[in-house]
């Protein structure tokens, strides 16, 4: 006689009507496996379909699916246990009624994962959590980007199909043998077991389980949208010192002092920047361009002719060829460009509480008699922009400053870039007429899904895709420079054009430098000679570089460096996604992750780098940057009014 397995014994012990949950569990597991396969096909990385890669993806994914399923099945199980045997027909109809919205949710989440993956090549993460806050913009973006009636109809049809299959499985015959003859003690024990299952899933499941591979896309596929969403929700603020690799505080500070060339290791970011000679009181217009990857520009080898104006400015100005974004979202770019700090884990500082009165590039300009402005074509409440820039001394000008007759086109994210630049010119003219020098940070929006813009500007129809968004933004920038050239203040103005992030952060490894590569052009024909700068640098270096061009001396609390000076000897870039922060230099990338985990990989292949002196040096430098930055922000040392060093 063959031995009875524990699972068989458990199945026999459970009240028989709980067996009705089995087809629901199987349906949930199969559906989510199909979603994984669909995302794999959508991703187009067919090497992941090889059996030794696909089986772990499906197996680990099934573990997460099983844990998530317990949260749905437990309430249904309690209902079945409590339902009186003499009214089983009513139980069947109630169960079928409850299954319909559950099927709709399951199919809707599956469809949502495809739209999210299309944009971010990731399961749900911090961005998905943020989108719950900005429902108007997100729903508007979906309406303008997708055929929503068709999409929702497809969700409805698929949900009904799944429900019909389950309804057939839960037909009258299935309840005939489901009469509950178990006593109340057995039912109570089963109810406790159902309650314990989600608790065990919550305690036992760990996001690190899906990190089985060096291929970031394989790891994402092994995840589960429900689990990843709630994990991001509960971990949107991450204490670096508690969860990441650290060094003794004095050693970390000394390492950062060496990297920054700071004379004082006690607070290395708090230092004096001195430039000999007279200061150049030039206006500065910093244009941060939505999702502008370096790969779109002809200057970086693109042959599609999408950026003729930017390519011309790159030839006539100073082109930085190896600049890297700190993150994959606009708020990360705004953080780096304004604060010059590493992208510490969790939310960008732009979205954190107590982020006013910080030391920003605007603060340096204000100390020199300039008026710092932040000009945005959308509504600045989005992503906390108004609160952040307004709380840090900028004059904020957003969509509300435009009248209807001033707008040629707008979508859910804001007005077309040409109207944004018209607004910027109006504001700059007012400051120039008053005799006040200005520093203006202008943030574009048109190169964002749904990629809509006024017709007739370029040879790609509106809403044709990202290439149209890129080409229209390029046209708007060219038009802006042409109009600015006619202004009296043009000759005394430095234009800095840089991306906020790239259009695609995906890659085989967690932080592929190529997917963070952005362009930057500094254009001031009367003051900046044409040229190329090939040093590896980061977005956090943009502010110190601008101030260096103007020969400003100032007290600094920046972690960035002047690319044209210190950046020549110390080349590195800081990168981050949602929980992994990194450090790129010398052909290697240091990845720092929660749980004090870290590794050093080859920047091109993603393979583990040798554990040699170079890897250890880069590892310590990476920890020094992030540990000191997180500690300084937590202690208020990055505030503009922070007490100076004794």
Q: Hey, how many other C-beta atoms are within 10 angstroms of the C-beta on 532?
A: 12
Residue 189's pLDDT band (boundaries 50, 70, 90)? confident
Look at 50-54, 215-219, 281-285 and tell me which has the smallest mean pLDDT: 215-219
Residues in Cβ contact with 244 at an 8 Å cutoff, skipping those fewer than 6 apart = 238, 345, 581, 592, 593, 594, 596, 623, 626, 627
pLDDT band per the 50, 70, 90 thresholds, residue 333? very high
If pLDDT is split at 50, 70 and 90, which confidence band does 587 have? Answer: very high
Question: Is 537 exposed, middle or buried, given 0-12, 13-18 or 19+ CB atoms closer than 10 A?
Answer: buried
Query: What is residue 523's predicted lDDT score, i.e. its pLDDT?
Result: 98
User: Across all residues in the chain, what is the average pLDDT?
Assistant: 87
Q: Which two tokens stand for residue 463?
A: 């809403």
Residue 555, strand partner residues: 272
What's the CA gap between 545 and 220, in Å, rounded?
Answer: 37
Task: Using pLDDT thresholds of 50, 70 and 90, give the confidence band for residue 374.
Answer: very high
d(CA 129, CA 383): 12
Question: Which DSSP helix (H) or strand (E) runs through 155?
Answer: helix 148-169
Tens digits of per-residue pLDDT, 61-90?
A: 999 999 999 998 888 888 877 777 666 666
Q: In the chain, how many H helices and how many E strands?
A: 22, 17
**Three-state DSSP class for 514?**
helix
Would you state the pLDDT for residue 1?
A: 46
Three-state DSSP class for 209?
helix
Which pLDDT value is given to residue 411?
83
Please state the rounded mean pLDDT for residues 197-224: 84
Contact by Cβ (8 Å): 515, 486: no
Q: Is the pLDDT of residue 299 over 70?
A: yes
Rounded to an integer, the average pLDDT of 537-545 is 98
Task: Assess whether pLDDT exceeds 80 at residue 413.
Answer: no
Sign of the CA dihedral running 544, 547, 548, 554: negative
Choices 3.40.720.10, 3.40.50.300, 3.65.10.10, 3.40.50.2300: CATH for 242-634 = 3.40.720.10
Q: Let me know how long the chain is.
A: 646
Other residues' Cβ atoms within 10 Å of the Cβ of residue 378: 22
Which structure tokens are listed for 27?
């349906």
Q: Residue 78: its pLDDT value, please? A: 85
258 compared with 128, residue with greater pLDDT: 258
Q: Quick one: the chain helix, strand, coil %, rounded to 5?
A: 55, 15, 35
Question: Residues 390, 563, 447, 116: is their CA dihedral positive or negative?
Answer: negative
Q: What is the mean pLDDT of residues 171-190?
A: 61
**Average pLDDT of span 582-593:** 95
List phi, psi (to 5°) of 608: -55, 130
Report the candidate in 595, 514, 582 with the shortest Cα–Cα distance to residue 211: 595
For residue 531, the 8-state DSSP code is E
Distance CA 420, CA 627 (A): 38
Q: Is the pLDDT of residue 605 over 50?
A: yes
User: pLDDT at position 638, please?
Assistant: 92
How much is the pLDDT for 332? Answer: 93
Confidence of residue 177 (pLDDT cuts 50, 70, 90): very low
Least confident of 206-220, 262-276, 475-489, 533-547: 206-220
Is the model more confident about 336 or about 177? 336
Q: Find out whether the peptide bond into 567 is cis, omega within 30 degrees of 0.
A: no
Q: In the chain, pLDDT over 90 holds for what percent of residues?
A: 51
Q: Which of 545, 627, 524 is nearest to 253 (CA)?
A: 627
pLDDT confidence of residue 98:
86
Maximum mean pLDDT: which of 121-135, 189-203, 228-242, 568-582? 568-582
DSSP 81: H
| pLDDT category of residue 567 using cuts at 50, 70 and 90 | confident
Indicate the pLDDT class of residue 176, thresholds 50, 70 and 90.
very low
CA–CA separation, 423 and 406 (whole Å):
9
CA distances from 621 to 42, 543, 618 (A): 38, 21, 5
From-to residues of CATH 3.40.720.10 in the chain: 242-634
111-120, 318-327, 368-377, 573-582: least confidently modelled range: 111-120
Q: What is the mean pLDDT of residues 555-560?
A: 95
What's the confidence (pLDDT) of residue 13? 59
| Residue 507: band (very low, low, confident or very high) from pLDDT cuts 50, 70, 90 | low
* pLDDT greater than 70 at residue 182: no
């Amino acid at each position: 006689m063959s031995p009875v397995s524990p699972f068989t014994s458990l199945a026999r012990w459970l009240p028989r009507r709980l067996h009705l949950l089995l087809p629901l569990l199987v349906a949930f597991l199969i559906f989510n496996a199909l979603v994984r396969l669909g995302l794999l096909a959508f991703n187009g990385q067919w090497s992941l379909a090889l059996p030794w890669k696909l089986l772990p993806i499906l197996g680990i994914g099934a573990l997460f699916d099983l844990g998530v399923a317990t949260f749905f099945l437990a309430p249904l199980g309690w209902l079945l246990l409590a339902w009186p045997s003499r009214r089983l027909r009513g139980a069947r109809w109630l169960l079928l009624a409850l299954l319909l919205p559950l099927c709709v949710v399951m199919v809707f989440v599956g469809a949502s994962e495809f739209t999210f993956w299309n944009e971010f090549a990731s399961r749900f993460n911090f961005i998905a959590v943020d989108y719950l806050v900005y429902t108007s913009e997100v729903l508007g973006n979906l309406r303008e980007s997708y055929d929503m009636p068709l999409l929702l109809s497809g969700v409805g049809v698929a949900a009904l199909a799944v429900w019909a299959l389950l309804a057939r499985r839960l037909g009258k015959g299935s309840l005939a043998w489901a009469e509950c003859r178990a006593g109340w003690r057995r039912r109570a024990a089963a109810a406790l077991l159902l309650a314990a299952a989600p608790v065990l899933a919550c305690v036992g499941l760990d996001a690190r389980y899906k990190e089985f591979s060096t291929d970031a896309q394989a790891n994402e596929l092994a995840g589960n949208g429900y689990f990843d969403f709630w994990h991001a929700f509960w971990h949107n603020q991450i204490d670096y010192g508690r969860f990441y690799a650290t060094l003794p505080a004095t050693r970390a500070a000394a390492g950062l002092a060496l990297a920054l060339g700071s004379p004082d290791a006690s607070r290395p970011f708090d230092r004096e920047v001195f430039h000999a000679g007279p200061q150049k009181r030039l206006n500065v217009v910093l244009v941060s361009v939505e999702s502008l990857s370096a790969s779109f520009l002809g200057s970086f080898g693109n042959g599609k002719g999408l950026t003729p104006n930017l390519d011309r400015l790159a030839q006539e100005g100073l082109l930085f060829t190896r600049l890297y974004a700190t993150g994959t979202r606009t708020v990360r770019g705004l953080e780096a460009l304004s604060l010059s700090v590493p992208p510490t884990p969790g939310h960008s500082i732009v979205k954190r509480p107590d982020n006013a009165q910080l030391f920003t590039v605007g603060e340096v300009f204000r100390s020199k008699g300039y008026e710092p402005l932040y000009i945005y074509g959308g509504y600045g409440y989005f992503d906390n922009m108004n609160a952040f820039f307004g709380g840090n001394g900028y004059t904020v000008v957003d969509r509300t400053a435009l009248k209807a007759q001033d707008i040629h086109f707008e979508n859910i994210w804001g007005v077309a870039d040409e109207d944004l630049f018209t607004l910027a010119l109006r504001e700059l003219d007012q400051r120039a007429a008053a005799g006040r020098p200005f520093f203006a940070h202008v943030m574009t929006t048109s190169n964002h899904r749904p990629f809509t813009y006024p017709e007739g500007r370029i040879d790609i129809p509106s809403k044709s895709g990202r290439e149209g968004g890129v080409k229209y933004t390029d046209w708007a920038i060219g038009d802006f420079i042409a109009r600015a050239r006619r202004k009296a203040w043009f000759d005394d103005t430095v234009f800095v054009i840089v991306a906020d992030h790239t259009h695609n952060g995906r890659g085989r490894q967690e932080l592929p430098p190529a997917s963070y590569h952005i362009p930057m052009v500094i254009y001031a024909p009367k003051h900046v000679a044409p040229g190329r700068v090939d040093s590896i640098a980061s977005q956090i270096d943009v502010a110190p570089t601008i101030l260096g061009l103007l020969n400003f001396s100032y007290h600094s609390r920046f972690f960035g460096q002047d690319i044209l000076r210190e950046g020549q000897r110390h080349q590195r870039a800081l990168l981050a996604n949602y929980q992994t922060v990194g450090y790129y230099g010398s052909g290697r990338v240091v990845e720092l992750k929660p749980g004090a985990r870290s590794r050093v990989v080859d920047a091109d292949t993603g393979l583990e780098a040798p554990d040699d002196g170079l890897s250890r040096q880069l590892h310590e430098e990476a920890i020094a940057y992030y540990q000191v930055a997180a500690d300084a922000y937590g202690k208020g040392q990055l505030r503009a009014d922070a007490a100076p060093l004794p």
